[in-house]
């Protein structure tokens, strides 16, 4: 299977690799034979994942940096090249959502959600593409958008329109960089259980009974599998695409699901 993936010996740079979807992705790439650079704001988390990656017989380095800054993105590319090699694959697993109605959103809220859900991806992909072009080789970029970038996203609109912008951006980047052998895609997760988003009983009931045809939340390993596919030779003719990994959420009757959950009380006591 490693031969079919074509990732053995390649270098993968994972932004946001310290836990949850990021940690699962680092492990999945290590099992495919890739060397991994793990970036996280918490260097302790990155070091822990790096140790796990090394235990699987490949190389790893733990790095930290603020990817909202273009200069930091360029530095992380250089650090990865110095410790491992010029990265062949860029994976981005970073994001956050401000939970407020639209009329309550402040300029600070909007700027923060744009920075951490869209702008950083532009800066990181620019730095990655420049590094690849200078090295004269192709590569792949696979980021995380969200089903909230496909649907509307009431009560967290800034997150939704930032993720929608990412979906649009990958189409432009994929078109511009195709001649350089750089493929650009993204995954749109649905309800995924992570340390930051636990699978509470209330959330389970809504997801399973109303919104998701597969009637369960997803696991980080399932996001990691999609990112591995989009970075591997198995997807060699795929670029500029968004792959929903959502248990069928975007394929189902979302309108009726929304109607069925009107007035639902969230874990924090507020209504959805």
Q: What is the pLDDT of residue 191?
A: 82
> Do 166 and 121 form a contact (C-beta atoms < 8 A)?
yes
Distances (CA, A) of 216 to 150, 190, 206, 209: 20, 11, 10, 9
CATH classification number, 2-199+219-251, choose in 3.90.950.10, 3.40.50.720, 3.30.450.80, 3.30.70.260: 3.40.50.720
The pLDDT of 210-239, averaged and rounded, is 91
Q: From the candidates 123, 159, 169, 254, give the one annotated as an active-site residue.
A: 159
Bridge partner list, 91: 14, 142
- Alpha helix (H) ranges present in the chain? 2-5, 20-31, 43-54, 70-83, 107-114, 120-135, 157-177, 201-206, 220-231, 254-260
Q: Which of 62, 67, 73 is nearest to 95 (CA)?
A: 67
- The alpha carbon dihedral of 148, 150, 153, 157 has a sign of positive
Residue 228's pLDDT band, with cuts at 50, 70 and 90, is very high
Q: What is the pLDDT of residue 193?
A: 80
In whole angstroms, give the CA distance from residue 5 to residue 116.
30
More confident residue, 231 or 205: 231
11 HSE (CA, 13 A, CB side):
23
In the residue annotation, 159 being an active-site residue is answered as yes
Over 90: is that where the pLDDT of 202 sits? no
**Could you report the per-residue pLDDT of 76-97, keeping only the tens digit for each?**
999 999 999 999 999 999 999 9
Q: What is the pLDDT of residue 55?
A: 97
pTM, 2 dp: 0.89
Q: What is the pLDDT of residue 198?
A: 59
In whole angstroms, give the CA distance from residue 239 to residue 140.
9
> Do 224 and 25 form a contact (C-beta atoms < 8 A)?
yes
**Could you report the per-residue pLDDT of 108-156, keeping only the tens digit for each?**
999 999 999 999 999 999 999 999 999 999 999 999 999 999 988 899 9
The DSSP output letter for 219 is -
Query: Count of CB atoms within 10 A of residue 50's CB?
Result: 24
The pairing of beta strand 89-92 with beta strand 60-63: unpaired
Over 60: is that where the pLDDT of 12 sits? yes
Q: What is the pLDDT of residue 3?
A: 79
SS3 17: coil
| Across 61-65, 116-120, 122-126, 264-268, least confident range | 264-268
């Amino acid at each position: 299977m490693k031969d079919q993936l074509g990732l053995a010996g390649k270098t993968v740079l994972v932004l946001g690799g310290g836990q949850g979807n990021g940690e699962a992705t680092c492990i999945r790439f290590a099992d495919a034979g890739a060397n991994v650079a793990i970036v996280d704001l918490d260097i302790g988390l990155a070091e822990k994942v790096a140790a796990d990656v090394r235990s699987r017989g490949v190389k790893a380095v733990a790095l930290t940096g603020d990817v909202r800054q273009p200069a930091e993105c360029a530095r992380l590319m250089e650090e990865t090249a110095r410790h491992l090699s010029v990265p062949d694959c860029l994976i981005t697993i970073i994001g956050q959502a401000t939970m407020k109605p639209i009329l309550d959103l402040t300029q600070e809220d909007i700027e923060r959600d744009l920075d951490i859900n869209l702008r950083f991806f532009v800066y990181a992909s620019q730095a990655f593409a420049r590094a690849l072009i200078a090295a004269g080789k192709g590569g792949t970029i696979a980021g995380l958008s969200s089903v909230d970038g496909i649907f509307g996203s009431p009560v967290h609109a800034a997150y939704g329109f930032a993720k929608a912008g990412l979906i649009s951006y990958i189409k432009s980047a994929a078109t511009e960089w195709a001649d350089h052998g750089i493929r650009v895609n993204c995954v749109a997760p649905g309800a995924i259980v992570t340390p930051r988003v636990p699978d509470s009983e209330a959330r389970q009931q809504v997801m399973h009974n109303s919104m998701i045809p597969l009637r369960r939340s997803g696991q980080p390993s399932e996001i990691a599998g999609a990112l591995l596919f989009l970075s591997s030779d198995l997807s060699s003719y795929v670029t500029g695409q968004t792959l929903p990994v959502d248990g069928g959420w975007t394929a189902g009757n979302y309108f009726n699901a929304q109607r069925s959950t009107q007035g639902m009380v969230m874990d924090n006591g507020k209504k959805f």
